[in-house]
Structure 1
Amino acid sequence: MTKYLTWFLVFMFFSCSMTTKKDYKINGVSFVASRDQISKENVQPVLNVHANYTAIMPFGFIKNLEHPEIIYNTNKQWFGETTEGVSQYINVLQKSGLQVMLKPQIWVWHGEFTGHIKMPNEVAWLELEQTYSQFILDFAKLAQEKQVALFCIGTELEQFIVHRPEFWQELIKNIRAVYSGELTYAANWDEYKRTPFWNDLDYIGVDAYFPVSDKITPRVEDAITGWQAHKIEMKTVSETFKKPILFTEFGYRSTDYTGKEPWVSDYKITALNFEGQTNATQALFETFWKEPWFAGGFVWKWFHNHAESGGKKDNQFTPQNKPVEAVIRNYYKRQ
């Protein structure tokens, strides 16, 4: 009897520790998978910006927007995208005192937008449901095994959700059956108001690439002004569902017009503009991090090889070795 009571108390401890609401902000980075294992040396730069969470993002791949089969956990993928790699990353990150959001994602060949995934017929829809369930539940079980604090059930999959809402309701139940931590979904910035299952999750997840300024180099004040209408809408959604808003992704490129269409990630844009990236990021922090209905977020994106990442010639999203890194460090340190 004593043995069973001990195991029950252990289970309750882990369950409660994973589901208790935070009294602090989630100050996260999106930790990109690599070909290699990681070590504490790769984690130290994350700790240096005072992050307390990392998102780990294993990918599954589909051939096109109408193809139902998801390929994942193969020897053709980078180590950090496989279950073995995810497990190794989580071990190192947790040993360093970081919490983890496990965020399995789909990549469509040629980089087509996942929100447009839509099957041509019922047979294909059923196959997609089966393969997506297997993909997500495999990682949900791993999340439970590793006592991961937060699990993301999908990323930017609006048409899949619109056309198969019953599937998603059942999927959430099946995830809850194998994973006892907190759940979110990463809705695109223009999708979250229509997502139908926020009542069944713990956070309203938003990939926060909202347009906030049309200027070449937005000032902090410009971007703060540009946020106001979006902020009101998010606060309303949070109050409606009685769930906190979590930015499952946020960030800006170090390029001109960074606040105009922040979701653009192609390499056709060649301009460098660190001031715009810094100002837009500061405005986001000033707008949201003090709000009680806002849970925090995950910077997009952070590479394991910090010394070689970002820098003065890079105009992509990563803040590493750019002036904006100091802004993130400053705000994360306050929490």
Structure 2
Amino acid sequence: MSAIYPNPISQLICLACLFVCLVASCQSRPPYNHLGERIKGANLVAPPRKPADTTLHALKADGGTWVAVVPYGFCRKDDPHFFWSGNRPPGERRGGGQWWGESPEGVAETVQMARAEGLKVMLKPHVWMMGGSHLDLAFEKETDWQSFEADYRGYVLAHARLADSLKIDLFCITTELDKFALARPDFWKQLIVDVRKIYKGKLTYAANWDRYDKLPFWDLLDYIGVDAYFPLSADRTPSVKAMVRGWKKPINELATLSAAYQKPVLFTEFGYRSCNRTAEKPWESETDCEPNMEAQSNAYAALYEALGAQPWFAGGFVWKWFMLERDRPGGNHRERDMYSPQGKPAEAVLQRIWKK
């Protein structure tokens, strides 16, 4: 009986079909369907002294369900040392006294205030770099990297222990240190492993809007965390419709990443200044501001209109919410007040959406 040899052309066709099928299967992962609650939260501004116990009542009344407690640690540009309340002398903070809201005691009491209102809590450590931006934190020498990493690891693990002891609902291990994360992926992957040994709850990381898709460790976390300052419109007073159109590209990119990792996307920060052109460069906080309440209100409305039907969207945290009465937005429209929706038409927009 003679051997039968397959036609070489048929073989090539079969191999090509197999390759096409494999590529298609890799590119067609189904959208992630988040079945958990949709977070309606705000990033709290840690106050220098203890506020009234009822300070979070207004957030709850607006329909908010979560708060992010944001204790800062500090460094200087090109200095391989990192300081926080656990490794520096008492009384030192940005050249002054340690703020109440950033101390372990202040964090614990803030958590108690939130729970008294029925609010859940995300603990979200942040870096304040003097003389530069934490977004660009990097070193040239290996010894400097190792020195900074030793300090920073202590900071994150100390807050992991605090999160575990307080039974925090969600721990955001770090905010916007993306350049650091891309330069030292092994450090970060091991840090996440070490955090999980201490804290048993859900984990995320707050990535900047322009680098979130490059980070190498989303598979190790529970949420893809994004500080969502995407540019949407250059108009002076952008309409809701214009900004919904502006969301189309970011939504497609977020959906792709969510599907690839099969994880929900959480906006660890989102916010807009009550200024002209608020949606052109939402991340800019130090440029001149011509007050524009309508622009801010429209931006919040557009975000929820654009994201509301996305199955992978887990909600998010407004930037930012003041706890002390004297710090809240007033008629003088101070620079520090511009992002906050408190006492502005934007707060009414959030209330209407959150209470649906």
TM-score strictly above 0.5 = yes
- 1:72 equivalent in alignment to 2:84: yes
Structure 1 counterpart SS, 2:318: strand
Q: Give, in whole Å, the separation in 1 of the partners of 2:35 and 2:250.
A: 24
Q: Higher mean Cα deviation, 254-263 or 156-165?
A: 156-165
Question: Paired residue for 1:232, among 252, 260, 263?
Answer: 252
Consecutive unaligned residues in structure 2, runs of 5 or more: 1-33, 92-96
- 1:332 equivalent in alignment to 2:354: yes
Match in the other structure for 1:101: 122
Q: Give, in whole Å, the separation in 2 of the partners of 1:313 and 1:251.
A: 20
Question: Paired residue for 2:58, among 38, 45, 54?
Answer: 45
Q: Give, in whole Å, the separation in 2 of the partners of 1:22 and 1:42.
A: 31
Aligned Cα RMSD in Å? Answer: 1.4
The one-letter amino acid paired with 2:347 is E
Q: Give, in whole Å, the separation in 2 of the partners of 1:230 and 1:270.
A: 26
Q: Give, in whole Å, the separation in 2 of the partners of 1:42 and 1:273.
A: 27
Q: Give, in whole Å, the separation in 1 of the partners of 2:272 and 2:74.
A: 25
Consecutive unaligned residues in structure 1, runs of 5 or more: 1-20
The one-letter amino acid paired with 2:80 is P
Are 1:38 and 1:89, in contact at CA under 8 Å, matched by a contact in 2? no
- 1:36 equivalent in alignment to 2:57: no
Question: Paired residue for 2:295, among 270, 276, 286?
Answer: 276
Match in the other structure for 2:107: 86
- 1:304 equivalent in alignment to 2:323: yes
Identify if the C-alpha distance between structure 1 residues 261 and 150 changes in structure 2 by more than 3 Å, giving closer, same or farther: same
Match in the other structure for 2:308: 289
Structure 1 counterpart SS, 2:54: helix
How many residues align? The count is: 311
**Structure with the greater alpha carbon radius of gyration:** 2
Aligned-residue offset at 1:308: 5.2
Aligned-residue offset at 1:91: 1.4
Aligned-residue offset at 1:313: 3.7
Are 1:256 and 1:273, in contact at CA under 8 Å, matched by a contact in 2? yes
Match in the other structure for 1:260: 280
The one-letter amino acid paired with 2:277 is Y
Q: Give, in whole Å, the separation in 2 of the partners of 1:137 and 1:83.
A: 13
- 1:118 equivalent in alignment to 2:135: no
Q: What is the percentage of aligned positions where both structures have the same residue? A: 40
Give the ranges of 4+ consecutive aligned residues of structure 1 lying more than 3 Å apart after TM superposition.
Answer: none
Are 1:42 and 1:304, in contact at CA under 8 Å, matched by a contact in 2? yes
Q: Give, in whole Å, the separation in 1 of the partners of 2:303 and 2:325.
A: 24
Aligned-residue offset at 1:159: 1.5
Aligned-residue offset at 1:219: 0.3
Q: Give, in whole Å, the separation in 2 of the partners of 1:308 and 1:192.
A: 32
Are 1:311 and 1:320, in contact at CA under 8 Å, matched by a contact in 2? no
Match in the other structure for 1:13: none
The structure carrying a bigger helix percent of its residues is 1
Match in the other structure for 1:3: none
Q: Give, in whole Å, the separation in 1 of the partners of 2:326 and 2:58.
A: 9
Identify if the C-alpha distance between structure 1 residues 101 and 179 changes in structure 2 by more than 3 Å, giving closer, same or farther: same
Match in the other structure for 1:164: 184
Aligned-residue offset at 1:239: 0.5
Match in the other structure for 2:18: none
Question: Paired residue for 1:322, among 344, 348, 351?
Answer: 344
Aligned-residue offset at 1:311: 3.8
Q: Higher mean Cα deviation, 100-109 or 44-53?
A: 44-53
The one-letter amino acid paired with 1:303 is F
Structure 2 counterpart SS, 1:41: coil
Identify if the C-alpha distance between structure 1 residues 308 and 197 changes in structure 2 by more than 3 Å, giving closer, same or farther: closer
Task: Trace 1:10-29 onto structure 2 (pairs within 5 A).
Answer: 23-29=36-42
TM-score by length of 1: 0.90
Aligned-residue offset at 1:290: 2.8
Task: Trace 1:74-223 onto structure 2 (pairs within 5 A).
Answer: 74-75=90-91, 76-110=97-131, 112-223=132-243
Identify if the C-alpha distance between structure 1 residues 332 and 127 changes in structure 2 by more than 3 Å, giving closer, same or farther: same
Are 1:38 and 1:92, in contact at CA under 8 Å, matched by a contact in 2? no
The one-letter amino acid paired with 1:63 is R
Structure 2 counterpart SS, 1:127: helix
Q: Give, in whole Å, the separation in 1 of the partners of 2:331 and 2:309.
A: 31
Structure 2 counterpart SS, 1:42: coil
Q: Give, in whole Å, the separation in 1 of the partners of 2:352 and 2:332.
A: 23
The one-letter amino acid paired with 1:210 is F
> How far does the alpha carbon of each residue in 1:250-308 deviate from its partner, in whole angstroms, 9 at most, with x for none?
01000011010000001x41310011111111000111133221000000000012475
The one-letter amino acid paired with 2:157 is L
